[in-house]
Chains A and B, each alone.
Chain A
Amino acid sequence: MALSTSSAITLNINGEKHALPVDHRTTLLDALRERLDLTGTKKGCDQGQCGACTVLLDGRRTVSCLQLAVAAEGREITTIEGVADGERLHPVQQAFLDLDGYQCGYCTPGQICSAIAVIEEHAAGWPSAATADVRPGPEVPPLTAEEIRERMSGNLCRCGAYVSIVQAVARAAGAEVTGDAEVTA
């Protein structure tokens, strides 16, 4: 029996169900952009190295270029189109706007999806490679500029808007940024 190389699937994206047939080779990124006209998610390297295609899968940040669409069936997918509350921007979106956390804007949807998850991961007590002592303690270490840079290192910005991106993530997290990326606004 020849194996079927395509499937009829239903993707749950931003709270809406989308039924579509997919060739199994289709990545979630291509399904979003080419099949469902959700072009806010960007294709950069298509190799999992730049973070432009970052979306949330069951609330966790994921690079959609290495995620097969067929394997995303049954999971809650949140893209940049789904992070705002109606007309009210997500606090991370607002912070990027207020603090110019971009130049050309191409990496921005991925940066914002990633930052939303970074703030949640930090609040949940997840350490990072920048955390001096990873052993569990009574308090979560503060979200310093160094922590933000490390946690956001999967999102590249070829315009080099990193200084403003760090400030925007800190603002959205309600963190007081110390070190070399001080928030003064």
Chain B
Amino acid sequence: MREFGYQRAHDVPGALAVLGADPEARALGGGTNLVDLMKAGVERPALLVDLRDLPLDRIEATDDGGLRIGATVSNSDLAAHPEVRRRYPALTQAVLAGASGQLRNMATVGGNLLQRTRCGYFTDLSKPCNKRTPGSGCPAVEGEHRNHAILGASAHCVAVHPSDMGVALAAFDAVVSYETADGPGEVPLAEFYLPVGDTPHQETALPPGALITAVTLPPAPVAALSRYRKVRERASYAFAIGSAAAALDVRDGVVHDVRLAFGAVASRPWRAREAERVLIGGPASAEAFGTAADAELAAAQALPDNGYKVTLMRNLVVALLTELAEEAGR
């Protein structure tokens, strides 16, 4: 591991000043991904700015009925918060579906959004990777890609974003707030992750030197009836091979409102807007749920070994929405 300096920031302006002064400085949240990547040599910061003492560790109700989640709130505290569990239960389920109890205690909300892909080529310095070394190539396209993207990928990168939390945040129209030396800004989660194209190393819309300060959830009554379902290769403590967050409001058998987002199928949490569009105003039936899933997945471009994900996601959508429709009817 490269040697590095360490500073503990005590307020946001102080953190921004240090981060802005050194392009090789990196913010340290829980460190569960960053420290691991530093050990592997993928990340080589000259300076770590520890954010743990920043006053960004609170979850507050907003005036309009949403929630503002501080960037350094731990994954554990987010999942356990009574208002998150009551208003956005799929968010609690998504967070609890990720990692382990130990890692959730350490990991922060901001860090969860900024975690890197777990593509094996990205973390293997002996292999090319366009995300790690732009222009070096993507061995996954013709190599090991069983768990890789079926939506929104390019010939330059087929890696998936590993976050569970982000899938629920995408379904509920979360907005990411940040601070820069020039002032604050915000970007909807839907626009937070950049299209892959031929620049897979440019992952987010955050300006250089920016610090995520909060994630805000707008009020979403539909989210009170919501679920997150994760498919993985063992029962617990594994990354998803496909997941979905869904919320459903059915009135007289008709879909009044619906939210749907997919995980582990793209370089970002994938909001299934086409499926939502097909569902709104139609019947809450398994057939309609399947038709909607097909509409979303029509854009899928499977590689030789990950075509199973198209079927998996279709089945997942039908099962999840059917369960929610049954619960809505009770």
Contacts and interface: CB of A to CB of B under 8 A. Distances in A.
A87 B203 CA distance: 54
A118 B1 CA distance: 33
A134 B31 contact: no
B308 interface: no
Contacts of A54: 102
> Which of B4, B31, B32, B102 lies at the interface centre, i.e. has the most chain A CB atoms within 10 A of its CB?
B102
B31 A66 contact: yes
Given A48-B32, A70-B6, A151 B101 contact: yes
Contacts of B32: 48, 63, 66
A24 B82 contact: no
Contacts of B311: none
A67 interface: yes
Interface residues of B, number: 39
Contact of A128 (B6, B35, B96): B96
Interface string A105-136: 00000000010011001001111110101111
Nearest to B164: A129
B106 A24 contact: no
B31 A67 contact: yes
Interface in B34-68: 35-36, 38-39, 46-48, 50, 52
Contacts of A128: 96
Contact of A114 (B6, B28, B102): B102
A51 B5 contact: no
Interface bin, chain A: 35 or more
Contacts of B92: 127, 134
Given A67-B31, A126-B80, A127-B92, A154 B100 contact: yes
Nearest to A154: B100
A54 B236 CA distance: 18
Contact of A127 (B6, B38, B80, B106): B80
A135 B85 contact: yes
Contacts of B100: 51, 153-155
Interface in A4-52: 4-5, 7, 23-25, 27, 46-48, 51
B247 interface: no
A99 to B, nearest CB: 21
B234 to A, nearest CB: 9
B105 interface: yes
Contacts of A60: 76, 105
B164 to A, nearest CB: 10
Given A48-B32, A134-B93, A153-B236, A5 B105 contact: no
B6 A68 contact: yes
Contacts of A5: 3-5
A47 B52 contact: no
Contact of A134 (B89, B106, B235): B89
B103 interface: yes
B236 A71 contact: no
A153 B96 CA distance: 12
A62 interface: yes
A71 B50 contact: yes
A36 B241 CA distance: 41
B5 A4 contact: yes
B292 to A, nearest CB: 26
Given A68-B48, A155-B100, 19 more contacts: A5-B3, A5-B4, A24-B3, A25-B3, A51-B102, A54-B102, A63-B32, A66-B106, A68-B6, A68-B35, A70-B6, A114-B102, A121-B101, A129-B93, A134-B89, A135-B89, A152-B101, A154-B102, A154-B237
9 contacts: A4-B5, A7-B6, A25-B38, A46-B39, A114-B102, A121-B101, A149-B235, A150-B235, A154-B237
The 8 closest A-B pairs by CB, nearest first: A154-B100, A3-B5, A153-B236, A5-B3, A153-B237, A129-B96, A60-B105, A126-B80
Interface of A: 3-5, 7, 23-25, 27, 46-48, 51, 54, 57, 60-63, 66-68, 70-71, 114, 117-118, 121, 124-129, 131, 133-136, 149-155
